[in-house]
Amino acid sequence: MSEQIAKVGDLELCYETFGDRDDPAFLLVMGLGTQMLGWHEEFCRQLADRGCFVIRYDNRDIGRSTHFKRHKPPTIKQLLVRDKSAAAYSLADMAQDGVGLLDALGIERAHVVGASMGGMIAQLMAVNHPDRVLSLTSIMSNTGHRWKGMPGLRIYPLFVRRPADNREGVIESTLSTFRAIGSPAYPFDEEELRRHAELSYERGYNPAGTARQLAAILTSGDRAQDLRRITAPTLVIHGTRDLMVRRSGGRATAKAIPGARLIEIEGMGHDLPPDLWDRIIGAIVSNAERADASVRRAEAA
């Protein structure tokens, strides 16, 4: 299915679906400054082949969804001190976007899968909208705690470097970023990543939106106490070599959510290597089946 636009409140969200509409819905939420293309098309198709109706979408302020151009991006100083006045919106607002997209598609409940910032958004969907989330999978994310899941020291320069202002500069910046944060045990395909970066640039390069999303993350606070209220069967996936969100973030997430299962993948960094898709998809589907079994038991009681 080609890309579609859904009206969600005052926003327009760009989305795409894979699979049979009659299958259980899986909403995929991507991370900071990353368009829905971060959920590779083949990853989505493989998930759909497992009997899933897959929905990927651009978060607000990225790609072809609404850009918040009326709000100035935060300054480096505002980000460093976590100035709440610099945040044009919150992670909770972004979680509401996901629920609004389900509304627009006429979907009552979905299995929600989030990566990095998308994991934070997915967590808040499960906290604030428990009746809409069948299961939760949080990948390479954290609880918002200041000292758990923090980046490795050599990653910090990525946050403060000046955004590239031309096509080739953007592409090279993407490549250098993934050289720093990618999976050491699973080297990425540079040509495929270059193609991905080119397409992302053409779809809607928006560094100001990335800065506004980062402000939403940094001003969101620690969610650990709220995560204790999650009732959806939860899976936490984290790489042992993640330098962007250190594995302590995944461990803290699994510890905070009652009954959560933690899978740590050796050699995985802050990306989704194709060699791991089968394992990750299998774990997501298994967690969803755990949720479906719980629903059937509740209906039979």
State how far Cα 241 lies from the chain centre.
18
Encode pLDDT of 14-49 as tens digits.
999 999 999 999 999 999 999 999 999 999 999 999
- As a whole number of angstroms, the distance between CA 205 and CA 83 comes to 25
Task: Please state the three-class secondary structure of 107-153 as a single string.
Answer: CCCEEEEEECHHHHHHHHHHHHCCCCEEEEEEECCCCCCCCCCCCCH
Measure the CA–CA gap between 114 and 117, rounded to whole angstroms: 7
pLDDT at residue 301 tops 60: no
Q: Give the pLDDT score at 79.
A: 87
Percent of the chain with pLDDT over 70: 97
In this predicted model, which residue has the larger pLDDT, 1 or 291?
291
From 61, 97, 226, 242, the catalytic residue:
242
Write the CATH number for 107.
3.40.50.1820
Q: How many CA atoms lie within 13 A of 150 on its CB side?
A: 9
For residues 278-285, average pLDDT: 98
Of the listed 116, 135, 183, 200, which one is catalytic? 116
Sequence-distant (≥ 6) Cβ neighbours of residue 49 within 8 angstroms: 19
**Does the active-site annotation cover 83?**
no
Of 145, 104, 141, which is closest to residue 126 (Cα–Cα)? 141
Q: Is the pLDDT of residue 299 over 70?
A: no
267 φ/ψ sector (left φ>0, alpha ψ -120 to 50, else beta): left
Structurally, how many domains does the chain consist of? 1
Give the structural domain span for 227: 4-300
The predicted structure's pLDDT at residue 161: 79
Write out the two tokens for 199.
Answer: 């397409």
116 is known as an active-site residue: yes
Quick: pLDDT tens for 51-91: 999 999 999 999 999 999 999 999 888 988 888 998 999 99
Question: Among the ranges 140-149, 169-178, 246-255, which has the highest mean pLDDT value?
Answer: 246-255
Residue 150 has a pLDDT of 83
The pTM for the full model equals 0.94
242 is catalytic: yes
Q: Is the pLDDT of residue 137 over 60?
A: yes
Please identify which of the residues 111, 196, 238, 270 carries the catalytic annotation: 270
Distance CA(138)–CA(253), nearest Å, equals 8
> What digits encode the pLDDT tens for the residues 225-268?
999 999 999 999 999 999 999 999 999 999 999 999 999 999 99
Mean pLDDT of the chain: 93
